[in-house]
Structure 1
Amino acid sequence: MREIKFRYWHKEDKRFFSPWSRGWRFEGENGQMYVNGMNVTDRCEIMQYTGLKDSNGVEIYEGDIVQKDGVNFVIEWAHTGWHATGTKSAWSNFQPDIFVVVGNKYNYDHLLIKEESQ
């Protein structure tokens, strides 16, 4: 069975937090995130762990940028499962062991811009 894990990207602080970070709380009933009692839902993005690891054993999360043969792809959820989507091609139900995590779309977005201009 796949391990269910999440991480949060704080848009203002521009860094990741784990859901176990001190003072962080996620309420599944209403889908809201709180830090020390203050609602920060609009300031954060939630990324889910795919349950997959790349060729180096690195966990792959939604929003990660993976690379194969010098081409970058973003990991996204679609109706049928996790997909690696690039500007020129996409991998449905991809094999994670042929990819390498090189960053994420939040603090390594320049990797996507470079790929788009090629």
Structure 2
Amino acid sequence: MSVTCIRVHDLVSGEADPGGASVVLVDRLWPRGVRKDAFAHDEWCKDAAPSPELRKAFHHGDLDFEEFSERYREELDSGDAAKAVDHLSDLAGGDGLVLAYAAKDTEQNHALVLAEVVRAAAR
């Protein structure tokens, strides 16, 4: 089982290669500056993204990454988000899974938290 996180812009530019893995966009909003026909992906899983309120609080600096991560994990434990995690963990069991995200920060973003949750669910 393989779950990796790659920026959408790196996939579109060819800087990153997903191999044979399923590529799933995990943002609620379409990435800025990316044409829909330029981004080869298998699915767009909006339900796995943070709620608009949580995303805005994090991006506006109201929450640090630790608090954001804790609240995001709580969101992923229920409702449609939990179903999305189950679906993503099923995909990860195949030829691997690439969680595609648009955030510029490659070290503190929701896809990294989601990847940990998906890996734990797939065990």
Same fold (TM over 0.5): no
Tell me which protein shows more helix as a share of its residues.
2
- Bigger RCO (CA 8 Å, 6+ sep): 2
The structure with more radius of gyration: 1
For this structure pair, what is the TM-score category when the shorter chain's length is used for normalisation? under 0.3
Tell me which protein shows more strand as a share of its residues.
1
